Amino acid sequence: MAARCTDELGRAAQRRFGGAAVPVAGLAHRERLGPAQRLFEHVDATPGEYEQKDISPYFWHNGAYPDSDEYTALFDGDFADYRLRVNGLVEHPAELTLQQLRALPYHEQITQHFCIQGWSGIAKWGGVSMLTIIDLVQPRPEAKWVVFYSLADGPDGGIYYDAHPIEQMSYHLTMLAYDMNGEPLAYGHGAPLRLRNETQLGFKQVKWIKGIEFVTHFSQVGGGYGGYNQDHEFFGYRQSI
């Protein structure tokens, strides 16, 4: 009974504040913090960009790595058969090969990654701006969220995914990266494609991207809380830096 009450309280706080669940004593603080966080998450904070000399000598990677037959075949074939599916509430659904993605206008940025576990690292990312993808598929007016699906499962099983507000897809530093520090993405860092949304924490930067779906709301996706971690660990869909 105690465990059930704790779970229900955590989910209630998660739904109300959009952030990770907090103890009862912290709810008043979150009540004050919530409106301010909601306000600033709709502002392109244009996080700082760095220079080549700032790149971290080692950049951690974590998460549950893909080990499915599908991913193994793609990896062994140098991703020649990879297809990025972009669909949902868009006028022009697309399936893009890695070669087609590389033929789109190139975007590059040197930015800092912040992990919820407390570490950070700076890297140079190269790939395609999400603005380019938006121009290509033309989202419909009712599309308010963008869901990124991984080729990897989460640690408790089930596909890893995360949802992002559609306005953040227009930010200058939101991109799909296929290069890291001048080289194609390594396996541990999300090959062949990963998300970079520099206003969000690391667990929301989906790696090994399989598909992108434009939706009205994330409540009908997965467990309905906005992402794999949110569904399993009371993480909030609001995790702005």
Considering the domain architecture, whether residues 75 and 165 belong to the same structural domain is answered as yes
The per-residue pLDDT for range 169-185, each reduced to its tens digit, is 999 999 999 999 999 99
CATH number for 169: 3.90.420.10
Beta strands in the chain (DSSP E): 84-88, 94-96, 107-114, 120-129, 145-153, 159-165, 174-180, 183-184, 194-197, 209-215
Considering the domain architecture, whether residues 109 and 52 belong to the same structural domain is answered as yes
Range of the domain at 33: 1-40
The per-residue pLDDT for range 133-163, each reduced to its tens digit, is 999 999 999 999 999 999 999 999 999 999 9
The per-residue pLDDT for range 18-71, each reduced to its tens digit, is 544 333 333 343 334 455 555 555 555 555 689 999 999 999 988 889 999 999
pTM of the model: 0.83
Element holding 4 (H helix, E strand): helix 2-17
Dist CA 125 CA 111 (whole Å) = 8
Q: Phi and psi at residue 155, in whole multiples of 5°?
A: -65, -25
Considering the domain architecture, whether residues 67 and 163 belong to the same structural domain is answered as yes
Q: Give the CB-side neighbour count of residue 173, counting CA atoms within 13 A.
A: 20
Percent of the chain residues past pLDDT 70, beyond the cut: 77
Considering the domain architecture, whether residues 155 and 52 belong to the same structural domain is answered as yes
Considering the domain architecture, whether residues 113 and 29 belong to the same structural domain is answered as no
Dist CA 107 CA 223 (whole Å) = 33
DSSP notation for 170-200:
GSTTEEEEEEETTEEPPGGGTTT-EEEETTB
Query: What's the domain count of the chain?
Result: 2
Beta strands in 24-100 (DSSP E): 84-88, 94-96
Dist CA 187 CA 113 (whole Å) = 18
- Residue 130 in domain: yes
